[in-house]
Amino acid sequence: MRFLRPALAIAIVAAAATGVAVLQMGSATAALAKPAKAVVHDVNGANLGTVLLQPIGTKLVITGKLSGLTQGFHGFHVHSVGICDPKATDAAGNIVPFVSAGGHLNPAGATHGHHAGDLPVLYVSADGTASSIFETDATNLATILDADGGALIIHALPDNYANIPTRYAANGVAGPDSATLATGDSGGRVGCGVITAVK
């Protein structure tokens, strides 16, 4: 994945909103398929903002502006189930907000840092806002919008992408432990948005 120039991202959003069929990018012309979006809410139901997922060729361009978050870095992922229940419970009956969205989108069964749903972390400014503009070829809308859908999740903590060198150890085992390999230690889920196709 790589970050996009802001002007290009703005053009993408404008083209999607107006129904333009193609986007000029230098000398190339890229077809715009129909996008998807996620309206993200916190555990109390407050609207944190909207994220647009726009297919362009073999890439998925993701843009969004969010607010109402705590300052600092936050893990940001596509999760495998399109259900955002702030009162969802785990197998033991404990309330775990948005656990209903399942784990990270990961059809290949990879470890964290290589999941199809792994996205760049969000940096939230002191005023509680965050903007993100990037593209990925690790997944596509057909995979995200499968039978059980998908969701965008914002986590409480930074994501280390399981980048723990073997000189570090947990419980006598070198490198990342099982929790790090699953989630990147990004903590609880503070925001969730069901990904839906834009008609």
Identify the pLDDT of residue 140: 97
For residue 29, with 0-12 CB atoms within 10 Å meaning exposed, 13-18 middle and 19 or more buried, which class applies? exposed
Identify the pLDDT of residue 12: 47
**CB pairs under 8 A, 24+ apart, for 7-14?**
9/61, 9/63, 9/133, 12/52, 12/54, 12/56, 12/61, 12/63, 13/52, 13/54, 13/63
Identify the pLDDT of residue 80: 98
> Which range marks the domain in which residue 115 is found?
2-197
The whole-number average pLDDT for the span 153-161 is: 97
CATH assignment at residue 90: 2.60.40.200
The whole-number average pLDDT for the span 67-87 is: 98
Q: How many domains does the chain have?
A: 1
Identify the pLDDT of residue 199: 85
The 10s digit of each residue's pLDDT in 122-140 is 999 999 999 999 999 999 9
Structure token digits, residue 1: 């994945």
H/E stretch holding 151 reads: strand 151-155
Identify the pLDDT of residue 31: 57
Beta-carbon contacts of residue 140 (< 8 Å; ≥ 6 apart): 55, 60
Arithmetic mean of pLDDT over the chain: 88
Where helices occur in 23-80 by DSSP H, the ranges are none
